Structure 1
Amino acid sequence: MTATVTTSNRFRAPWVIFWAGFLLRVLVITIGHTYKIRLAQDHFQFGWEMGRIGRALATGYGYADPFVGHTGPTAWVPPLYPLLIAGVFKLTGVYTAFSAWILLTLNSLFSAATALFIYEIATRCYNQRVAKWSAWLWAVYPAALQYAIHWVWEMSLTAMLFTWALALALRMRNIGESETDTDAQSTARWLGFGLLWGLISLSNATLLLFLPICGLWILFGAQRLTASIGKAALASVVFLAILTPWIARNAAVFHKLIPIRGNMGAEMYAGSGPGSNGFAFMATLPLEERNPETMRYKALGEVEYVRQQGEKWHAYMTTHHAHYAAISLKRFYFFWASVPHPVEKHAEGEFFRELDYGFLSVAGVLGLLLSLKNRIAASGLFACAFLLLPLTYYFVTVAARFRHPLEPLIAIFTVYLFQSAQPRRKHEAA
C-alpha cells in the first residue's frame, strides 16, 4: 500500500501550480476587463454561434437560432458548451458582463486544471523536472491564457478533457509506474475513459478521429486482454449513453441521423467554395436578418440549407481541384504557422503573435521527433494525436484556436526539447 501511495503522489502536481494559473487568469479577466465583450452585431462576439444558442435556450426557444433572429432548431455546434452558457445566462442574465465574467472564470478553471494533467503526463513519460517546467509554462505563459480569458467558446474545456483523457490512458498502460499494477485497466478506469470521450465528443467532435487509436493503444498494453475487451465494451456503452440523448433529439427534430453536428455542407461551401482563400474570418452566414442568404437558411431550415450548400460545394470542387488542393495546403500551413489576422490589425503585434505561435509549433514538433527518436513511452500515441487532430481542419476550415487541444502536449515537448539540449550533470536523475 505504501508503495502505491508513493507512486501515485509522484504524479500529482503541486497545487500551487493550479492556483497560480487559475488566479492569474481571473486577475487578468478582472483587471483587464476582458469580460466587457463588444456589443457589435447584437453581442455576437459573446460566444458567437454558441452564445446565440445559449440565449435561445435561456429564453425558451430551445436549442436553436445560431446566427441572427429566430431561425429554428439547430445542430450547428455540439451541445456541451452551449448548455453551459445557457445555464449561466439563466442565473446571471443573457449577455451580461457578469455572465461573461463567470464563463471566462470557468474557462480559467478548466485551463488551470489542464496544468495538473500536463504534470502527470510529463512525469510519467519524462521526469519531474520536465513536468514542473511544463506545468508552470502552461500556468503562466501568456499564449496559454488567451483562450480562457478572452473567448466564450469551448477551447479550454476541450483541452482539459483531452489532456485528462491522455493522462488516464497512460495510467491504464502503467506508463511511468515503478511496479506493475495488475489493476491498471480496472472497470472504473475504462468507464471513466468512456465518460471522458463522451464529453469530448459533445464539446469538439473533431477529436474523435483519435479515439479508436487511443482505445486500441490501451488494449494492446493489457495484461489480461479478454477481460480488458469486456471493460472496453462497457466504456463504449457509457460513451454511447452520453451521445444517445443528443442523437435522439436530432432525429426527432430533423428526422435525420445527425450524430453530433450537421453543418458540414455549409462549412465546406463557405471554406472551399467560390471566392474561398483558406481564411475563415467571418460567420458562415451573414449576420443581417434581412440578408437573402440568411432568409434562405431560415426558409429552408438548417438540414435542407446545409444539404444544398454541400451540393453547391461538390459541384464547384469537381471543376476546381487545383484550387481546393492549394487552399488545403494553405490551411495546413496556417494550422501550424498561425492564421494571420486581417490587415487592419497592428502590424507589430501581429508579427510577434505569429512568431510566438510558429515557434511553439516548431519546438513542439521537434520535441515530439526527439521523443520518438529516444523511444519515450507513449510518443507514438502522441504522434498520432499530432497527425489526426488537425486533419479535418486542413480540408474544411482553419483558425488558430483549433490547435489548442494539442498545446498541452506542445508545452511538454518544447520543455523536453530545450532541457535535452542542456548538458546533463552526472548526478542528475534521468
Structure 2
Amino acid sequence: MGVFCAALILRLIPVLLARSLGIGLDDMFQYDMLARSLAAGNGFRWYASADLELLKPYVDFDLTTVDYDPARGVETSFRAPLYPAFLSLIYLLVGSGANRFFAARLAQAFLGAALAPLTYLVAKKISPENERAAKISAWFVAAYPILLAYPLGLGTENPFFLLLLASFFFLLKAAQVHTYTGTQVDTYTGTQVDTYTGTQVDRYTGRQAHTYTGTQVHTYTGRQADSETSRQVDARFKTTELPNYKTTQLHRFHLSSFLLAGFLLGLTALTRSVILPFAGLAVLWVWFALKQKRGALLAALALALTVAPWIVRTSLLHHKLTGIETSMGYNLYLGYYPQGNGSFVFGPSLDLLPILDDAERDQVGTQKAIEFLRAQPERFVPLAVNRLGFFFGLEKRVLMYFYGNNIVGFIPFPFLLALFLVMLLPFVIVSLSAALGASLLRWNPPTVLLALLFFAYLLPHVFILAEDRFHLALVPFFAVLASLFWTGGWESLAARWRESRAGKIAVALALLAALLLLLNWGLELSRDADKIFQLLGPNGNFSNYPY
C-alpha cells in the first residue's frame, strides 16, 4: 500500500501542475475524438465535421470513399477499442468540456501507480525467496521518471502497461495454483512432488532447503531432506487432506485462474493488438510447460470470447475477416519507407491519412511496403537491426519534443542537463542490470514465460516499426530482473559462473547483451549529437523537433 501511495503522489504532481494542459499529438486527438463519439452515443466514429475543420490545414481528407455523416463522422477500425472506451466512461462522468483531459489524467495516474505493487507481486512469483528484490523492483517502477509523465498523455500505454503486467501475473498465479491441486508433479517449480507437502528440493529457487522452513530438516515431518535424490518424503503427510481446503474448491479456483488470465490477455489485445503473438504463446505455455490442457483451452476460450465481438464488428464493417485494428498497413508503410530508417518518420506519416476508408488505407499501406521491399530487398536486414536499436533506444524523444517546441518554456542549462540525465539514466541502469540479472534465473516455467514475452513482444516491432517508447511496457519486467542483480551483486554472477557450464553460458550471454546495449546507445548519441547540442543550447526550446 505504501508503494502505491508513493507512486500515486509522484504521478499526481505533474498532473496537477499541468491541469490546464491540452493535447497536441495526432494520436491523442484521435483517441479523444473516438471517446467523445462513444460518450455521445454515436459509436466508434471519428472526424465529424467540427474535428475535420481543425485538421483541414494539414490533411486533405478524401470523403468520397466512405459513408460520411458530418454530424457523427465516419465509422473506423483503425484503433483498438478499449482505450477510447475507457476515456468515454470518464467523459460520461465529467462531460466533454475542457476539464475532461484533467479528469482522464487523474484516472491514468491511478493506473500508473498500480504498476508498482503489481510489479512487486510479479517479482514474488518469479523469485519467491527474494523479498528484498521484489520491494526494490516495485519502488523502482514507482519512481521511474518517464512513467511519472505518461499519465499526461492520452495514449494506450496507460492501460496497456497495467493490463500486460496483470495478465502475466495471473498466468504465473494460475501456474502456482496448480501446486495446490493434489498433483504429484509441481510444474511451477519443477520439483517431483508438490511443494505444499514439504518436499526436500525446490529447483525453482535453487536451494537445497525447503523454502518454507529454511532448513534441511523438514519441520512438518522431522525427517532430513535429501537434496540430491528427493526420495525421502513423508507419505503420511502427502496423503493427509490439505488443511482448510476442499479439493473441489481448489479445482475450481485453479480453473478460474486460467479463465481470468485469458480474459486479461483479451483486454490487453483490445488495447494494443501487438500483444496477440504473446497471448498465443502463453496458451501454448500453459499446455506444454504446465501440462495443463484444460487450463490452456480455458485460457484460449476466455481470450477468444473477449476479442471476438470486436472482430465481428470490424469484419462486418469491412465485409471481410478483419482483426482488432487496421493499422498494420499504415505501420508497414512507415517502417519500410524508402527514405525512412525503420522508425516513425514525420512527413510520410501524413501520406495515408487522407484515406478515411480504413480497409483501403490498410491495403494501400501493405502494398506500398511490399513494393518498397521488392525495390530494395537489401534493406530488410539493416532496417530490422535499426528497429532493434530503436526499441532499446534512450528515452530522450519526449524531452526533445516537449522542450524543443517550447511547450515547457526555457530551462537554464544546468537544470536542463540534470533533467536530461534524470530522463535517460534510469533506463540505462535498469536494462544493463536486467541483462545481468536474467543470467541468475533458473530454466523453469516462469522463466520460459518471461522469455516468451520478450520474444513475442519484440519481434513485431523489429519487423514492422519501432520506437524507444515501445520498450516501456517491459520496464516493470526489467526492474524485476535488475533487482535480482542488485540484491545479489557481482558475487551472485561469480557463483553462477562457477556453478556449471550452463551458468557460464548464461553469464556470458548477459555480458554480451550489456555490451550490445552500450554499443547501441553510443551509436545513438553519435547519430543525434547535433540535435542534442542544439537542444542544450541557448535557444534549444525553439528547436522545433517533430515527434
Q: Same fold (TM over 0.5)?
A: yes
- Tell me: CA distance 1:65–1:324, structure 2 relative to 1, closer, same or farther (3 Å): farther
Partner of 2:31: 50
Is 2:398 the counterpart of 1:330? no
Question: CA contact under 8 A between 2:395 and 2:423: conserved in structure 1?
Answer: no
The residue correspondences of 1:231-242 to structure 2 (distance < 5 A) are 231-242=295-306
Runs of 5+ consecutive residues of structure 1 not aligned to the other structure: 1-14, 287-291, 425-430
Q: Which runs of 4+ in 1 moved over 6 A?
A: none
Is 2:325 the counterpart of 1:261? yes
Q: Which residue of 418, 422, 428 maps to 2:486?
A: 418
Q: Point out the structure with max Rg over C-alpha.
A: 2
Is 2:169 the counterpart of 1:188? no
Distance of 2:23 and 2:104 partners within structure 1:
17
- Tell me: CA distance 1:381–1:212, structure 2 relative to 1, closer, same or farther (3 Å): same
Distance of 2:167 and 2:38 partners within structure 1:
29
- What amino acid is the match of 1:165? S
Return the offset for 1:120. Answer: 1.7
Query: For residues 44-81 of structure 1, what are the alpha-carbon distances to aligned partners after superposition, in whole Å with 9 as ceiling and x for unaligned?
Result: 45724322322333345431227962662211121000
Is 2:391 the counterpart of 1:391? no
The residue correspondences of 1:54-65 to structure 2 (distance < 5 A) are 54-65=35-46
Return the offset for 1:238. Answer: 2.2
Question: CA contact under 8 A between 2:283 and 2:300: conserved in structure 1?
Answer: no
Return the offset for 1:355. Answer: 4.0
Partner of 1:37: 21
Partner of 2:156: 154
Distance of 2:464 and 2:32 partners within structure 1:
22
- Tell me: CA distance 1:52–1:275, structure 2 relative to 1, closer, same or farther (3 Å): farther
Query: For residues 148-183 of structure 1, what are the alpha-carbon distances to aligned partners after superposition, in whole Å with 9 as ceiling and x for unaligned?
Result: x32211213112112122222222222579516984
- SS of the residue corresponding to residue 186 of structure 1 reads helix
Partner of 2:105: 104
Query: For residues 164-222 of structure 1, what are the alpha-carbon distances to aligned partners after superposition, in whole Å with 9 as ceiling and x for unaligned?
Result: 22222222222579516984771211211121111111011111211233223333455
- What amino acid is the match of 2:159? L
The residue correspondences of 1:11-26 to structure 2 (distance < 5 A) are 15-26=1-12
Partner of 1:77: 79
- SS of the residue corresponding to residue 146 of structure 1 reads helix
Partner of 1:275: 339
Distance of 1:361 and 1:65 partners within structure 2:
39
Distance of 2:41 and 2:168 partners within structure 1:
38
Aligned residues: 389
Distance of 2:97 and 2:377 partners within structure 1:
43
Question: CA contact under 8 A between 1:200 and 1:207: conserved in structure 2?
Answer: yes
Partner of 2:207: none
Distance of 1:105 and 1:229 partners within structure 2:
42
Partner of 1:428: none
- What amino acid is the match of 1:264? M
- What amino acid is the match of 2:272? N
Distance of 1:72 and 1:380 partners within structure 2:
44
- SS of the residue corresponding to residue 439 of structure 2 reads helix
Question: CA contact under 8 A between 2:394 and 2:427: conserved in structure 1?
Answer: yes
Q: Which residue of 268, 289, 313 maps to 1:200?
A: 268
Question: CA contact under 8 A between 2:121 and 2:134: conserved in structure 1?
Answer: yes
Partner of 2:124: 123
- Tell me: CA distance 1:99–1:353, structure 2 relative to 1, closer, same or farther (3 Å): same
Return the offset for 1:129. Answer: 0.8
Distance of 2:324 and 2:8 partners within structure 1:
31
Is 2:474 the counterpart of 1:379? no
Query: For residues 22-52 of structure 1, what are the alpha-carbon distances to aligned partners after superposition, in whole Å with 9 as ceiling and x for unaligned?
Result: 232123311x21x433455xxx457243223
Return the offset for 1:283. Answer: 8.1
Query: For residues 290-322 of structure 1, what are the alpha-carbon distances to aligned partners after superposition, in whole Å with 9 as ceiling and x for unaligned?
Result: xx8544x03xx2211221222122112111122
Partner of 2:147: 144
- SS of the residue corresponding to residue 271 of structure 2 reads coil
- What amino acid is the match of 1:37? L
Question: CA contact under 8 A between 1:124 and 1:170: conserved in structure 2?
Answer: yes
The residue correspondences of 1:159-178 to structure 2 (distance < 5 A) are 159-174=161-176, 175=188
- What amino acid is the match of 1:28? P
Quote the RMSD (CA, aligned, Å): 3.0
Q: Which residue of 472, 480, 500 maps to 1:404?
A: 472
- SS of the residue corresponding to residue 388 of structure 1 reads helix
- Tell me: CA distance 1:350–1:95, structure 2 relative to 1, closer, same or farther (3 Å): farther
Distance of 1:36 and 1:364 partners within structure 2:
38
Distance of 2:174 and 2:352 partners within structure 1:
50
Distance of 2:6 and 2:429 partners within structure 1:
25
Return the offset for 1:327. Answer: 2.4
- What amino acid is the match of 2:372? Y
Query: For residues 319-373 of structure 1, what are the alpha-carbon distances to aligned partners after superposition, in whole Å with 9 as ceiling and x for unaligned?
Result: 11223332221111011123653698498455653444333322222222332xx
Distance of 1:283 and 1:93 partners within structure 2:
34
Question: CA contact under 8 A between 1:337 and 1:358: conserved in structure 2?
Answer: no
Partner of 1:89: 91
Partner of 1:8: none
Question: CA contact under 8 A between 1:46 and 1:95: conserved in structure 2?
Answer: no
Distance of 1:142 and 1:242 partners within structure 2:
33
Distance of 2:141 and 2:352 partners within structure 1:
42
- Tell me: CA distance 1:218–1:294, structure 2 relative to 1, closer, same or farther (3 Å): closer
Is 2:423 the counterpart of 1:353? yes
Question: CA contact under 8 A between 1:107 and 1:156: conserved in structure 2?
Answer: yes
- What amino acid is the match of 1:368? A
Partner of 1:27: 13
The residue correspondences of 1:271-310 to structure 2 (distance < 5 A) are 271-280=335-344, 282=346, 285-286=349-350, 294-295=353-354, 297-298=355-356, 301-310=357-366
Query: For residues 83-117 of structure 1, what are the alpha-carbon distances to aligned partners after superposition, in whole Å with 9 as ceiling and x for unaligned?
Result: 11122223323362x32222222222222222222
Question: CA contact under 8 A between 2:28 and 2:155: conserved in structure 1?
Answer: yes
TM-score normalised per structure 1: 0.81
